[in-house]
Structure 1
Amino acid sequence: MMETAEKKARPSTGMCPSHCCPPQLLLLVTVTLMPMVHPYGFRNCIEDVRTSLCFRCIQRFLESPALAVSDLPPNAISLNLSYNLMRCLQPSAFARLPRLHTLDLAYNQLETLSPGAFHGLGALVVLDLSHNRLTTLAEGVFNSLGNLSLLWLQHNPLSTVSPGALLPLLNLRRLSLRGGQLNGLGAVAVAVQGLAQLEQLDLCENNLTTLGPGPPLPASLHTLQLCNNSLGGLVGGSPEMLWHVKILDLSYNNISQAEAFTQLHLRNISLLHLMGNPLDVFHLLDISDIQPRSLDFSGLELGTHGLKKVCLRLQGPRALQRLQLQRNGLKVLQRNALASCPVLQELDLSWNRLQQVGCAGQLLDKKQQEELEVLTVEHNLLKKLPSCQGAQVLPQLHNISFRFNRILTVGSHAFAYAPALQVLQLNINSLVLLDRQALWGLHNLTELRLDNNLLTDLYNNSFTELHSLHTLNLRNNRVSVLFPGVFQGLSELQTLDLGGNNLRHLAAQSLQGLSKLRRLYLDRNRLLEVNSRVFAPVQATLGVLDLRANNLQYISQWLHQPPPFRYLSSLYDLKLQAQQPYGLKMLPHHFFQGLVELQWLSLSQNMLRAIPPDVFEDLGKLRSLTLADSSNGIHDLPDGIFRNLSNLQFLDLENVGLHSLTLEVFGNLSQLQVLHLARNELKTFNASVASRLSSLRYVDLRKCPLSCTCDNTWLRGWLNNSRVQVVYPYNYTCGSQRNAYIHSFDIRVCFLDLGLYLFAGTAPAVLLLLVVPLVYHRTYWRLKYHWYLLRCWVNQRWRREEKHYLYDSFVSYNSADESWVLQKLVPELERGAFRLCLHHRDFQPGRSIIDNIVDAVYNSRKTVCVMSRSYLRSEWCSLEVQLASYRLLDERRDILVLVLLEDVGDAELSAYHRMRRVLLRRTYLRWPLDPTAQPLFWARLKRALRWGEGGEEEEEESSGGGAGRPREGDKQV
C-alpha cells in the first residue's frame, strides 16, 4: 500500500466554513458541481415540450423574423410566427434554419415579400402566409422552395400574381388563394401552368369575373374551387382549360344561364358543386356534357316535382353511392317520394325545411330499402320521431343522423325499421321525452348520441335492449337523478358521458351493470360528494373519471367514510379541477388511497389551502400532476408531499402562491421533465433542487419576482447554460425593476467584502512567518529532497525535446529474489507493454559490469529496485541504487521506484546507511501477501512507471493503501 509522511501528518479538516472561502470560489464550485441540469432559452420562442425542434413565437409583437430566428438552433424543423406585427420579409430572413419543414406566418401585417425572402429553406414543405396584407406576388419571392408542398395565401388582398412567381415551386401540391382580390382565372393559370405536381387550387372568395384567357390548368390538378366569386357568364374559358379537373366548385357565383357551360368540357368532371346559383339545373343537363351523377344538386332550385326529375336524371345501371339534396328548400316528402331514384347507399337531406320523414322506408321502393346504409337529415325542422313498429325494414341501414332539429319526443320503437343500426345521432335537439321502448330492437347499436337535449329522466328499461352499445353520450341535458339499474343491460358499454347535467348524488347502484365501462364523464354537474360504493361495479375496468366543475367540498382533513376511489385500481386519469363555487379547499388524508395505477391527476383551479403530506402516497405511477391556479390557497407545500412520486414527469404549479422550493418537497422527483412555476412568489430557484431534478427539460418561471441579489448569482449562470428550456429567460426582470434583468445583472457587488480581503491577505503572511522556521528546523532534509523534485518537475515541464529511452524500466534485484522477479514482476509488466531491462538478458557480454549498470540506468526511463534483506546485503545492488540516485540529482527527475518485498526491521536497516537514506526520502511500494490486494499493487506500480511519460508532469505517488515512506519519528532505521 502507498503512504507518505505528508499523508500521515496531514490532519482531517472537515468541511471548510463558508466565511473562509472567497465568494468567487463559492460561485465557481456551485455552478460547476450542482446542475447536471443545464438550462437554455430563447428570447421570443418556446420549444414544444413533446416535439423537439418545433418552436412557437406567437403574440410576441415581433416586427422582424430576425428577432425570433437569431437564437434558434439551425436544425429547427418547425417555426410558428403567427399573430405578430411583421410587415416585410427581407432577403434570407430564415437562412439560419436550413432544415425548416414548416413555417407559419399567418395573422401578421405582411405587405411585402422581398425576392429571396425564403432563401436557404430548401427543405420547407408547408408555408402559411394567410391573413396578411399581401397585394402582389413578385418573381423571385419563392426561390429556393423547390420542396414546398403546401402554400396557404388565403385572406390576403392579392390582386396580382406575377407569371414567374410560382415557377420555383416544382413540388407544390396544394395552393390556397382564397379571400383575395384576383380578377381573372387566366392570370392564375399562367402562374401555375409550370406546377406539374399541383393537385388542389382554391380561389374562392375572390373577384373572379372571367375564366380566361389563359392556358390550360396543369394536368395534375384534380380539385378547383371557384366558389363565392362573380363568374356569372364563365367568360373566356377555353374547352381545354378544365380538361383534367375532377372536382369543380362553382357555388355562389350568380350563374343564371346554363348556356355558359356549353363552351367548357365537363365530361371528365366527377363532382360539380353549383349551390347558390339561380340556375335551371335540368336545362344545364340538357345542353352540357356534364354527367348527372357528377352534379351536386344541393342548393339548386328544383321547382315543382323537382325531386322526381332529379331521380329520373340519376337513373342508371349502377347503384348510386350517395344522393345529396342539401339546401333545396324541401318541406314535405310524400310517400315513395324517392321511389323513382336509383338504388342508394347514402341519402343526405340536410339543410332543408322538413318537419317529418316518417319511418324512412316509406320514401323508398323495395329495392332501395334493401340497399340504403346511411340516412342524414340534419338542420331541418323535425319535431318528433313517431313509432315505427311494423314498418318496412331497411336491413342495411347502419347510420342515422337527426342532429340539429327540433325533436321533442321519440316514440315507441321509433327505429324498428333499422334493426342493423350501429350509429344513432339525436344530439342538439330539444328532446324532452324518450319513450321507454324508443330504442327497442337496436341490438347492434354501438354509438348513441343524446347530448345537448332537454332530457330530465332516464328510465330503468330505456337502454336494456342495447347489448352492443359502446358509447352513450348524455352530455348537457337536465338529468338530476340516476335511478338504480338505469344502465342495466349495457354490458358492453365502454364510454358513458353524463357531463353538464344536474346530478347531485349518485346512488350506490347507479352504475350497476356497466361491467366493461372504461370512461366515465361526470363533469359540470352538482355532485356534493363521491362514495366508494358507487364505483364498486366498475372497479376492475374504469380508466378515466372526469369530475371537473362539481360541488365537491371537504371540511375536515379526516374522512368519515372509506376513501372515495379505493376500489378504482385500474383508473389512470382523474380530473378534479375547478370545483364550485370556490374550489376544493381541502384534501383529506389518504384521499387518493387505492389509485395505484393513476397516471394523470388534475386538481387545478381549486384554491387548495390544506394538503396533507400523505395524500399522494399511493400514486407511485403518477406521471402528470396539475395544481395550478390556487393562488389564494397553497402558498407552500408540506415536506414530503411528493416523496413517492418518483415517476412524475409533468408538474404544473402555476399561480399557487409558492414562496420557495425546498429539497424536502422536490428532492425525489428524479424523472420530472416539465415544471410550470409561473406567477408564483418565488425570488429564486433553489440550486439544490435544480441539481436533484436530473431529468428536467422545461421550466416556466414567468411573472415570478426573481430578485437580483447575491443569492441568485448561481441562477444567472444557470440561465445562460444549456439543456433545460427556460421559458423566455431574457424577460425575467429583477423584481419591480424594469431595466434590470436576471440573466445580466452585475454580480461584482457580491464580492466586495473589504474585511474578507484584508483577512485573506494578512492571515497567510502571519501564518507563513510562524510556520516556516518550524518547518525548516524539523524537515530540512525533506524540504531539500522536495526542492530537487520541484526542479525536476520544472525542468521536465519546459523541456522542448523528450529523450527516447531504450527501456521503460531497469529492474535492479538480487539473485535471491530472481524467482519473484521472473515469475511475477516481468510477466505482469511486459504484459502491460512495458520494456524492461534485465541484467541476465540485456547486459552486453564482455563489457565491464559497471558499464553495463550505467548504461542500463541511463537508457531506462525509470529504475525499479526490488528490495529485500538479500538486496540490502548486496554490494552490486547498493551500487545500482547509488548510480540511480546520481542520475536523479543530475537530471533532476524522479526516476526511482522502490518495491519492498519483505519487512525489514529498524535494526537490520541501520547498518545500511545509504539504503536507509533512500528509504527515508523516497515513496515505496510494499508487496502484499494477500492475493486480493495484489491487483492494486500492480496498478500502482504501472502508474508509477508511466508517471511523466509524453512530457507530462512528474509527481510523487502520495496516497492510497499499500504504500509508505518511513519517518524517523515513527520508525528507528
Structure 2
Amino acid sequence: MIVSFGERMIFLGLILISVSSGQGQECTTIIKNMEYSCFGRNLTHIPSSLPFTVTSLDFSFNFLISLHKCVFPLLFNLLFLDLTRCHIEHIENDTFYNVKNLTTLILTGNPITYFGPECLSSLHNLRKLVLVDVGLSSLQLQMNNLTKLQELRVGTNNIQSMSLPLFMSTFKDFSLLDLHANNISMITTNETAVFREIGRNMTLILSRNPLLYIEPGAFKDIYLKEFHIQSAFVSFNAQKECLEALAGLNVEKLFMGTYRSQWKVQVSNTSFLDGLCAFNFNEIYLIQKEWSDYDMHLFRCMINVTKITVKKAYIKSMKLFPFCCLKELHLGITFLSVVPVISHIPSLEKLVVKNNIPMTFNGISDLPLLQFVDLSGNLLILKDCCSQFFQRTPSIRYMNLSQNSEIGLVSKPFLGLDLLEVLDLHHTKLVVVFYFGCLRGLKNLKYLDISYTSITLTKQIIFQDLNNLTVLKMAGNSFHGDALSYLLQNLTNLEVLDISHCGIEKISRRSFFGTLKIRHLYLSQNKLMTLDFLAQPELKPLTSLYVDKNSITSISLHVLQKLPTNLSEFDLSSNPIDCSCSQTDFILWIILNQNILKQPENIFCKTLPPSSDLRATDFDIDSCVHKKRLTIALSLFFVTVVVLLSFLVYRFQFYLQYCCILLKGYRSPGQQECSYDAFVIFSSYDEVWVMNELMENLENGVPPIQLCLHMRDFQAGKSIASNIIDEGILGSRKIIVVVSQHFIDSAWCRFEFELAQSRFLMERNANIIIIILEDVEERKTKKVLGLHKHLKKNTYLKWSRDPLSNMRFWIRLKKAILDH
C-alpha cells in the first residue's frame, strides 16, 4: 500500500500527540548512576536528568523518529545503548558523537530509510552492532572506523549477498555475522573472500535463508567456529548440492536441520544428508523433522566427529557406524525403542539418551573411557542393576538413571564401578533386595540422590563406605522408627542433606553426630513441631536451613541463641506460628532477622479464624509489653483494692445496704403500704422550724398529713441507715427536703438526699418536694450531689414570712403531698 506524504505527516502528528503525555516520565534506575531503563515510556527525547556517569541505557519502544548530533546529551561513559523499535527513520552524520564510547548499539526494528555516510564514524570502540529488522538490503555499510567490531547482527532484513566490505578483513576481532532470515539464495567465491582473512574464531549464521546455489570452492580454506544452517535450503536437492559445494570448509560446531516449530516432512530420497561428507566438522547439533519408510543414513557422514547432539530425529535404529573419534553422543526424542549398542565406540566418554518414551536397555560394555552416562526419563525397567549392564566400564564417574520405571538393586549392585562420583536415581522406584550392602564399594561417591524412590529407610541402609559423600538427597521417602539417628554417622564430609517430604515428626539430637560439615539442610514438608536439634554443635557450619511447610509454632529462646552464626538463609514460611504474648522472644527474632529469612512475607500467624492472614512480622509486640506492665499494675492495684475494700465497706455500709435492698427487689409506694405521707429531710439546726411550722401546719391541718421525722419516728436499736431506708425512703409516699445553709453543710442530709434521688430515678415522678428555707448561694448547692440540677429542672417551694405568701405556701405544699 502506497502512503502519501500528507498521510505520513498526519500519522506522525498523531504519534507525537499520543506520546506527549509521557514526556515527563522518569526512567527506572537499575543501578544508581550506572544503569537505567526507559523502556516503553513514550518518550520523544533522551532525558536530560540522566547522570553523565550512566554506562547502560535501555531506551527501547519510545519515539525518536530522527537521530542527529543533538539527540544525545554528553554521555561519554555510556557503553550500552538499546534503541529497539523507536520508530527511527533517519540517522544523520555524527549522530553518536556524544556517546562515542559505546561498545554495544542495538537498533532492532526501526524502519531506517537513511544512513548518513558518517553516522557511525565516531564509534571507534563499538564491539556489537545490532541492525535486525531495519530494512537493510546490503552489507556494504560505512563501518571503516569500527575496527574493534566483534559482532554484526543483521538478521530479518532483505540482504541478498553475504559479501562483506573489503576493509573488514582488517577487523581481527570480528567473530560473529548473523544473517538469519534474509534473502540470500546464491553464494559465490567472491562473496567469501573476506572470511578467509578474518581467522578461525568466526561464527556464521545463515539459518532461514532460501539457499539455492553455492559455488563449489566458495568456502574452501575457511575455518568457522560455528556454522548455523537450520532451514536454510529451498529443497532437499538444493540442500544436497549446497552441502557438497562446501568442500574445503572446516567447522568446529555445525548447527543444521530444522526448527522445533516446523512440521515433519516425508522424504523418498534418504541420502539428502550425504552432502555432509564433503566438508569437515567436529561437532554437530541436529533437529531432523524428515522421515521416511526406508532407513535414513543419518550418521553416515559423521564418523569423524567428536560430538553428536540429535535433539529430535525420526530414526528407528542406529547402525554400527565405525566412529573413530566420537567422544560425546546425545540422543533426544527419536523412534528408538532400544538404547543403542555403543560398545563399538571405544573413544566414547559421554552418553546421554533422553527419549521420554519406554525403552529397553540391554547394557553397554568395553568402553574404557566412558565417564558420563545419562539414561534418565526413558521409563526403563532394570531388574538386576547395575553391574551387569555396565561391564568393563571402569571409568564411569557420573550415572543418572532417574525418572525411570523401576530399578532392582541386589547384592553389590555397583561392583566394578569404583570410580563413581555421582549417582542419581530420583523418581525411580527402587527395589532393594539386600539393604546392608547395596552401596558397598562406592568410596569415591560424592553425590547420591535417592529421592522419591518409594523406599523405607531403615537402620540396615548403612552408608558406611561413603566417607567422601558431600550431597545426599532422600526426599519423598519414609523412615522406619528412629533410623535417622543411625544413618548419617559415617558421613563425615556431608555438606548437603535433603530429607524433605518424609513425614518426619521429630529429629533426635544424636542424628547429626559425626556430620561436622553440613552447610545446607532441607527439611521442608515434614511434620516437625520443634527444632531443638539445631542447638547441637555439629550444625555450627550450617548456612541454609529449609523448614517450610511443617508444624512449627515456636522456637525456644535457648535454641535461637545457639543458632549457627553463619546461617544466611532460613525458610520458616508456611508454618502455623503462634503469635501470642508468650512467644514475644521468637516473634521479635523473626522481625529482627528478616534479612536471613526466606519469604518472611509468607510467615503467617496461627489465628482463629484460620482464614485471617496475619503475618508474624506485623504482630504488635508493644501491645504485649503493655499487657505485661498492665498485669503488674493490676496486681498492685488488686492488692490495694483488697486493703481498701474492707475500709470502704465499713465506711459506706449504708450505701451497700441500700443497694442490697434494691437488688432484692424495689417496691414503689404504689406497690406497698406506706406508714407516712412524707419523710422530712432536714438539718437538726432547722428542727425548731420543722416542729413549729411544718409539723404544726401539716399534721394538725385538715386533712391531717402524717410526717416521718427522724428524732421521733425512727425505731430505737436500729441503724440510722436502715431507719432512713425502711422508715423514711421506702415507708413514705413523698419526701420533703428542707434546704438551708445547715442542710448544705450536713453530711447526713446529703446522704439522705442522695438516697431520695435514687428513688426519684426509679419511679420517674416528682416524689421529692424541695422547700428553700433560706437563700443559699448557687455555687454551694453544687456541693450536694444532684441538688443544683434538681432545682434547675423541678418546681420548688420557698418559705416566706409574708402572710399572703405564707398562705399560698401551705396550700401548694399540702396539694403536692396529697397529690398521687
TM-score range, shorter chain: 0.5 to 0.7
Structure 1 residue 560: deviation in Å? 5.4
CA distance in 1: counterparts of 2:573 and 2:245, whole angstroms: 68
Distance of aligned partners of 1:479 and 1:533 in 2 relative to their CA distance in 1, 3 Å threshold: farther
CA-atom RMSD, angstroms?
4.7
1:734 aligns to 2:605 (yes or no): yes
Which residue of 2 is the match for residue 498 of structure 1? 375
Tell me, yes or no, if the aligned pair for 1:281 and 1:300 is still in contact at 8 Å.
Answer: no
SS at match of 2:570: strand
Equivalent-residue separation in structure 2 for 1:713 and 1:207 (angstroms)? 64
Inter-partner Cα distance in structure 2 for 1:431 and 1:535 = 32
Contact 2:182 2:209 survives alignment (8 Å): yes
Q: Give matches, 1:144-155, under 5 Å.
A: 144-146=52-54, 148=55, 150-153=56-59
Structure 2: runs of 5 or more not aligned:
1-20, 199-203, 259-264, 641-820
Deviation of 1:710 after TM superposition, in Å, equals 3.3
**For the residues of structure 1 that align with 2:94 and 2:479, how far apart are their CA atoms?**
65
1:457 to 331, 334, 338: 338
1:731-760 CA distance string (max 9 Å, x none): 644323545744642222245544996699
Corresponding pairs, count: 588
Match status 1:378 vs 2:286: yes
Is the partner of 2:389 in helix, strand or coil? coil
Q: Does 1:534 align with 2:406?
A: no
Could you tell me which of 12, 23, 32 is aligned with 1:121? 32
Cα distance between partner residues in 1 of 2:294 and 2:57: 44
Q: Residue type matched to 1:172 in 2?
A: L
Cα deviation, residue 199, structure 1 = 2.5
Within 5 Å, which residues of 2 pair with 1:17-416? 118=29, 121-122=32-33, 124=34, 127=35, 129=37, 133=41, 135-136=43-44, 138-146=46-54, 148=55, 150-153=56-59, 167=73, 169-178=75-84, 180-184=85-89, 186=91, 192-212=96-116, 215-217=119-121, 218-231=123-136, 247-254=151-158, 273-278=178-183, 299-303=208-212, 306-308=213-215, 311=216, 319=222, 321=224, 325-326=229-230, 327-332=232-237, 343-346=248-251, 348=254, 350-351=256-257, 356-357=270-271, 360=274, 364=278, 372-374=280-282, 376=284, 378-381=286-289, 383=291, 415=300
Q: Alpha-carbon deviation of 1:467?
A: 2.4
Deviations 1:743-802 (A, max 9, x none): 64222224554499669999xxxxxxxxxxxxxxxxxxxxxxxxxxxxxxxxxxxxxxxx
- The structural deviation recorded for 1:651 is 0.9
3-state DSSP class of the match of 2:365?
A: coil
- 1:572, 1:425 → 2: CA distance? 28
Distance 1:231 1:619, change over 3 A: same
Does the alignment pair 1:476 with 2:355?
yes
CA shift, 1:240, in A, is 7.1
Question: For the residues of structure 2 that align with 1:227 and 1:434, how far apart are their CA atoms?
Answer: 40
Superimposed CA distance per residue, residues 683-729 of structure 1 (whole angstroms, 9 cap, x where no aligned partner): 11232222333332221222222222233221234235469712354
Q: Distance in 2 between matches of 1:131 and 1:759?
A: 66
Q: TM-score, normalised by structure 1?
A: 0.52
Alpha-carbon deviation of 1:194?
Answer: 2.5
- Mark the structure with the bigger radius of gyration: 2
The offset of 1:499, in angstroms, is 0.6
1:547 match: 425
What aligned pairs does 1:868-887 form with structure 2 within 5 A after superposition?
Answer: none
Specify whether residues 654 and 740 from structure 1 end up closer, same or farther in structure 2 by C-alpha distance, changes over 3 A only: closer
Does residue 627 of the first structure (1) align with residue 533 of the second (2)? Answer: no
- Counterpart Cα distance in 2 of 1:358 and 1:282: 20
1:588 aligns to what?
458
Q: Distance in 2 between matches of 1:474 and 1:145?
A: 51
- Contact (CA 8 Å) 1:265, 1:289: kept in 2 or not? no
What letter matches 1:543 in structure 2? Answer: E
Q: Is residue 511 from structure 1 mapped to residue 390 from structure 2 by the alignment?
A: yes
- Check 1:590–1:609 CA distance in 2 against 1; reply closer, same or farther (3 A cut): closer
Q: Deviations over 1:103-158 (max 9, x none)?
A: xxxxxxx9788669759934x4xx37486555455333431434x2x545556787
For residues 664-813 of structure 1, the aligned pairs below 5 Å read: 668-695=538-565, 696-721=567-592, 725-729=596-600, 732-736=603-607, 738=613, 741-742=616-617, 744-745=620-621, 746-748=623-625, 749-750=627-628, 752-754=630-632
Aligned partner letter, 2:371:
Q
Q: Distance in 1 between matches of 2:249 and 2:139?
A: 33
Does residue 1:489 correspond to 2:366, yes or no?
Answer: yes
Structure having greater relative contact order (Cα 8 Å, sep ≥ 6):
1
Confirm or deny: 8 A CA contact 1:227 1:251 kept in the other structure.
yes
1:167-193 CA distance string (max 9 Å, x none): 454343333333x23222517x76633
Give per-residue Cα distances to partners, 1:361-390, cap 9 Å, x unaligned: 7863xxxx6xx2447473455558xxxxxx
Q: Could you say if the C-alpha distance between residues 376 and 167 of structure 1 is closer, same or farther in structure 2, counting changes exceeding 3 Å?
A: farther
2:567 matched to 1:661? no
Q: Structure 1 residues 142, 377: closer, same or farther in 2, change over 3 A?
A: same
Quick one: structure 1 residues 158 and 528, their matched pair in 2 at CA, closer, same or farther if it must change by over 3 Å? farther
2:349 corresponds to 1:445: no
* Paired-residue identity, %: 19
CA distance in 2, matches of 1:215, 1:447: 47
Change (3 A) 1:167 1:533: farther
CA–CA distance in structure 2, aligned partners of residues 568 and 489 of structure 1: 21
What do the CA deviations read for 1:381-427 (whole angstroms, capped 9, x no partner)? Answer: 5558xxxxxxxxxxxxxxxxxxxxx996669xx65x76653223344
Residue 238 of structure 1 and its aligned partner are, at CA, apart by: 6.9
Alpha-carbon distance change, 409 to 578 in structure 1, aligned in 2, over 3 angstroms: farther
Q: Give the 5 Å matches for 1:923-942.
A: none
Secondary structure of the corresponding residue to residue 714 of structure 1: helix
Counterpart residue type for residue 704 of structure 1: N
Match of 2:439? 565
- Contact 2:29–2:36, Cα closer than 8 Å, also in 1: no
Cα deviation, residue 525, structure 1: 0.5
Q: Provide Cα deviations, 1:281-315, integer angstroms capped at 9, x if missing partner.
A: 579979x9988999966544454xx223xx36557
CA contact (8 A) 2:469 2:491 kept: yes
Quickly say closer, same or farther: Cα 1:234–1:348, change in 2 above 3 A.
closer
Q: Distance in 2 between matches of 1:274 and 1:263?
A: 15
Cα deviation per residue 1:854-877 (whole Å; 9 max; x = unaligned)?
A: xxxxxxxxxxxxxxxxxxxxxxxx
Match for 1:198: what amino acid?
L
The one-letter amino acid of 1:636's match is K
What per-residue deviation string (whole Å, max 9, x for no partner) do you get for residues 556-605 of structure 1?
xxx854242232222111112234xxx55x32224242222211122234
Structure 2 counterpart of 1:489, which letter? D
Go from structure 1 to structure 2 and tell me whether the alpha carbon gap of 1:361 and 1:114 turns closer, same or farther (over 3 Å shift). closer
Conserved 8 A contact 1:637-1:665: no
